[in-house]
Structure 1
Amino acid sequence: MLVGTVYADWAYAFVVYDGNTYVISKELVGQSQIGSLIGKVTKYSDREGTYSGNFSNRYPKGTEYYEIIGIKVHEAIAVKEKDGLFIKATYRGEYGGSRYDWISYLPYVIVVLLLLFGGFIMKRKFIR
């Protein structure tokens, strides 16, 4: 009997940006080709699974994504390595996980609950 958690290896290193998967290449991107900051890794895991947000199986939370000048974001992006170099990540397709983390919805849930609670209190106040 197998006890404990079994981890599978990912087929390749990647980042997820805006719901799309980008495979990490070995190609460096020159500083002069780096455009605007477009996002950051919001979740890292080396355990195979489906995650939400700007997820990566290679880079830690906070790793930055940049546009590459002259290349559409839907084709490739640059990922900033910890040593300050930029590596090209090529578009692979849509990511199977959610684009948003549940925490993204939390403020809306709180507002709705407060409105419902406030309405309930007001209704009870006027019924008396």
Structure 2
Amino acid sequence: MKKGLLLFLICFTVATSTSYALSWAYKFVVWEGGVYEVTEEFMAASDIGEKIGEVKRMADDRTGAYYGDASNYYEKGTRYYAIKGIDSGTAIAVEEQQDMWVKAVYLHEAPFHWTDILPYILMGIAAFFLFIVLSLRYASKKEPRDQ
């Protein structure tokens, strides 16, 4: 009886420990803190402005987590472009293939991630150390030296 129960628990644990990937509702890209849903509307080359960014990381298929310039569909290096006559806060163009762009429309703000403030933390630490070094240099020049 105990062996049967133990065998059942082992089989149950092994059978339920499978990993699943998320099924995304739509393709999206993240640019400058905004999530843009990629539409099926193709853009003409004459409507494409300058390059404004690119995909730098993929969204996690298991947890759904993403940060920075990310995408759940497009590979790293996929470029974003401004659309002439449209504010980039409203819509951007995503390079689907060489010389083919699709429109991506702004949906909402991307979730906060601690790496969003990392540059400010590093600048603060650098400023603190610079202040200490300059203070020590200034203090050493002000002290009279015994001769």
Taking structure 1 as the reference length, the TM-score comes to 0.75
2:49 is matched with which residue: 35, 41, 60?
A: 35
The structure with the larger Rg is 2
Higher helix content, 1 or 2? 2
Alignment of 1:38-117 (within 5 A): 38-45=52-59, 47=61, 48-98=63-113, 100=115, 108=123, 111=126
Partner AA of 2:101 in structure 1: F
The answer on whether the counterparts of 2:67 and 2:111 sit within 8 Å (CA) in structure 1 is no
1:18 aligns with 2:32: yes
Unaligned runs of 5+ residues in structure 2 are: 1-12, 137-147
Q: Hey, what's the Cα distance between the residues in 1 that align with 2:18 and 2:117?
A: 27
Matched residues, percent identical? 37
1:9 aligns with 2:16: no
Bigger RCO of structures 1 and 2 (CA < 8 A, at least 6 apart): 1
Aligned residues: 124
Unaligned runs of 5+ residues in structure 1 are: 123-128
Q: Hey, what's the Cα distance between the residues in 2 that align with 1:99 and 1:53?
A: 10
**Consecutive aligned runs of 4 or more in structure 1 exceeding 6 Å deviation:** 112-115
Partner AA of 1:3 in structure 2: S
What is the CA-CA distance between 1:50 and the residue it aligns to?
A: 1.9
Partner AA of 1:86 in structure 2: W
Q: Hey, what's the Cα distance between the residues in 2 that align with 1:73 and 1:11?
A: 23
